[in-house]
């Protein structure tokens, strides 16, 4: 058996990070915006069946960019975590913070221990209630780095450009239609292309809803919302 | 090739099941996981009494009284026996109240878990079978006197009709065509439904019919609670239709109960 040749840990981490970043940069992007009644998630996703945005629990949503099978695995693990916790304690004890921490630990472990890191970034959002509790948005990177974001967040290939765009254009507590239009503009302007309803996957955590706050917005409703904003 | 590395992935359809996840992570939380020997105390455990479900024009209606009975004592006057399991189905529980409510919660989580993982709802048939499997898990406890025997009813989107199922303690699942009732007052409620139930009733007629049956059950069965005018406690009634799971407001139930009481008083006086 040939002896494995030596690579310094520093070099190895650098290589892995570069590998993961390249994988993520190839993918399409997701924008998350806080709006008046909750949190809006807009993904560029031509498939209407393979979701990038989904429901985790009553007030918690998940979004993933990068390799589908990898973030799909994380998504299911998250649903399991939330459902088991909510079943053994109470529904109110399931929090985005605990879930985001679990994702951070999982991605961190995979990054350091596995040969191939996950080429994903995930986002966990929790909508606050009417009594003034704040929204929470956590953004977790391929190496387990975790950041909490305010007002807006972006992930995927054009994340940096989108963030710059939103920094100049974001306004607090706008309606759903305006926020949606801003989200779509952020996705299209940064890539110099127009996006139709069919290229988008949109969902909201709507705090005015009963119990389960997550709601997908189908293309027909999307067309209407985008039209009223103009 | 080492097939074992990937073949198990095709058998992981249980991935969408919350019960399977719980079995792996916290088996002590499953029904029937901790059976204790039968003791005289079992009779003193609160038992839910009468629930019923019936078809009507728009779907199904489910109703239950509010009393839990422990031996000859009233254990609670306000328990809920009809639970929403998802937007298009509900469970009415009868039997040992503790395990039954736990099972309703587990069932509700199971359906929601499946929906979130798969991005799609289970068929009504699939939901009914899943509940049967959960009841079977509780068989050992059932043999010791802690039986759970729910009624499951829902709106079948494919067939476009309301359907209802009853169960036995072994998880046996039986579909009923028109109406059924479960619990200690079930025989009386069923007798009543046999005379009053008609095909394609309107919502108002169905509501009246369900409440008549529950009042009859409360009349004949000591375990079943009738409308409590003093405390303002009335049976719970839910409707499940194409447009979802709906509650019948307490005020409306009160009005119908009072109308029934009025009519019966008149009949009693021979007016």
Residue B81, phi then psi, degrees to nearest 5: -115, -10
pLDDT digits (tens, 9 = 90+) for A54-81: 999 999 999 999 999 999 999 999 999 9
DSSP codes of every residue in chain A = -PPPPP--HHHHHHHHHHHHHHHHHHS--EEEEEETTEEEEEEE-S-SSS-SEEEEETTEEEEEEE-HHHHHHHHHHHHHHHHHHHHHS-GGG--HHHHHHHHHHHHHHHHHHSSS---EEEEEEE---TTSPPPEEEEE-TTS-EEEESSEEEESTTHHHHHHHHHHH--TT--HHHHHHHHHHHHHHTTT----GGGEEEEEEETTSSS--EEEE-HHHHHHHHHHH-
Whether residue B174 contacts residue B165, with contact meaning beta carbons closer than 8 Å, is answered with yes
DSSP code of residue B166: E
Is the model's pLDDT at A229 over the cut of 60?
no
CB of A89 less than 8 A from some CB of B: no
Residue B113 banded pLDDT, cuts 50, 70, 90: very high
Q: Is B49 a catalytic residue?
A: yes
Catalytic residue (choose from B49, B50, B224, B236): B49
Q: Decide which of B47 and B256 is more confident.
A: B256
Q: What is the pTM assigned to this prediction?
A: 0.90
Q: Give chain B positions within 8 Å (CB) of A47.
A: none
Share of chain B above pLDDT 90, in %: 69
pLDDT digits (tens, 9 = 90+) for B150-203: 999 999 999 999 999 999 999 999 999 999 999 999 999 999 999 999 999 999
CATH code matching the domain that covers A29-229, chosen among 3.60.20.10, 3.40.50.300, 3.40.50.360, 3.40.190.120? 3.60.20.10
CB contact under 8 A, B109 and A86: yes
How high is the pLDDT of residue A2? 74
User: Domain extents for chain B?
Assistant: 18-26+45-269
User: CB-CB: which of B25, B109, B117 is closest to A76?
Assistant: B117
As to burial, measured by CB atoms within 10 angstroms (0-12 exposed, 13-18 middle, 19+ buried), residue A207 is middle
As to burial, measured by CB atoms within 10 angstroms (0-12 exposed, 13-18 middle, 19+ buried), residue A59 is buried
Provide mean pLDDT across the span B64-69.
94
CB contact under 8 A, A87 and B22: yes
Q: Which of A158-167, B135-144, B154-163 has the lowest mean pLDDT?
A: B135-144
Report how far Cα B165 is from the mean position of its chain's Cα atoms. 10
CB of B259 less than 8 A from some CB of A: no
How high is the pLDDT of residue A110? 94
Measure the CA–CA gap between B29 and B16, rounded to whole angstroms: 18
Count of CB pairs separated by less than 8 Å, A with B: 35
Residue A4 banded pLDDT, cuts 50, 70, 90: confident
B18-26+45-269: CATH superfamily: Aminohydrolase, N-terminal nucleophile (Ntn) domain (3.60.20.10)
Is the model's pLDDT at B14 over the cut of 80?
no
How high is the pLDDT of residue B176? 96
CB contact under 8 A, A84 and B112: no
């Amino acid at each position: 058996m040939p002896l494995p040749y030596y690579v310094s840990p520093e070099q190895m981490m650098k290589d892995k990070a570069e590998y993961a970043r390249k994988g993520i940069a190839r993918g399409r992007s997701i924008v998350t915006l806080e709006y008046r009644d909750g949190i809006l998630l807009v993904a560029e996703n031509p498939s209407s069946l393979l979701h990038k945005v989904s429901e985790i629990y009553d007030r918690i949503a998940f979004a993933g960019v990068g390799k589908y099978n990898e973030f799909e695995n994380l998504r299911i693990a998250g649903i399991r975590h939330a459902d088991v916790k909510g079943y053994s304690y109470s529904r109110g004890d399931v929090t985005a913070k605990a879930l985001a921490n679990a994702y951070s630990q999982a991605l961190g472990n995979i990054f350091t221990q596995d040969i191939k890191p996950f080429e994903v970034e995930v986002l966990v959002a929790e909508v606050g209630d009417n009594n003034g509790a704040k929204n929470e948005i956590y953004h977790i990177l391929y190496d387990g780095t975790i950041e909490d974001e305010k007002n807006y967040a972006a992930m995927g290939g054009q994340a940096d450009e989108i963030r710059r765009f939103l920094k100049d254009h974001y306004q607090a507590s706008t309606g759903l239609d305006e926020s949606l239009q801003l989200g779509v503009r952020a996705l299209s302007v940064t890539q110099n292309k127009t996006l139709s309803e069919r290229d988008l996957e949109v969902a909201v955590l709507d705090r005015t809803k009963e119990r389960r706050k997550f709601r997908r917005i189908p293309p027909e409703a999307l067309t209407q919302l985008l039209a009223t904003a103009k | 090739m080492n097939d074992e590395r990937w073949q198990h992935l095709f058998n992981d359809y249980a991935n969408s099941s919350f019960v399977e996840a719980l079995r792996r992570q916290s088996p002590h939380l499953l029904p029937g996981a901790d059976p204790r020997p039968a003791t005289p105390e079992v009779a003193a455990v609160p038992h839910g009494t009468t629930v019923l479900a019936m078809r009507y024009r728009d779907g199904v209606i489910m109703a239950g009284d509010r009393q839990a009975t422990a031996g000859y004592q009233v254990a609670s006057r306000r328990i809920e026996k009809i639970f929403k399991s998802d937007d298009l189905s509900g469970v009415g529980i009868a039997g040992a109240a503790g395990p039954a409510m736990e099972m309703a919660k587990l069932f509700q989580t199971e359906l929601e878990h499946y929906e979130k993982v798969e991005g799609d709802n289970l068929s009504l048939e699939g939901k009914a079978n899943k509940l049967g499997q959960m009841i079977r898990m509780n068989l050992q406890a059932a043999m010791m006197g802690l039986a759970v025997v729910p009624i499951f009813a829902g709106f079948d989107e494919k067939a476009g009709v309301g359907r209802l199922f009853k169960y036995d303690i072994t998880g046996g699942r039986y579909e009923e065509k028109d109406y059924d009732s479960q619990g200690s007052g079930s025989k009386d409620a069923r007798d009543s439904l046999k005379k009053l139930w008609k095909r394609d009733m309107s919502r108002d007629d169905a509501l009246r019919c369900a409440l008549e049956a529950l009042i009859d059950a409360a009349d004949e069965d000591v375990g079943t609670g009738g409308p409590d005018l003093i405390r303002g406690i009335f049976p719970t009634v839910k409707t499940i239709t194409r447009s979802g799971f709906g509650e019948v407001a307490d005020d409306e139930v009160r009005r119908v109960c009072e109308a029934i009481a009025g009519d019966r008083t008149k009949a009693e006086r021979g007016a």
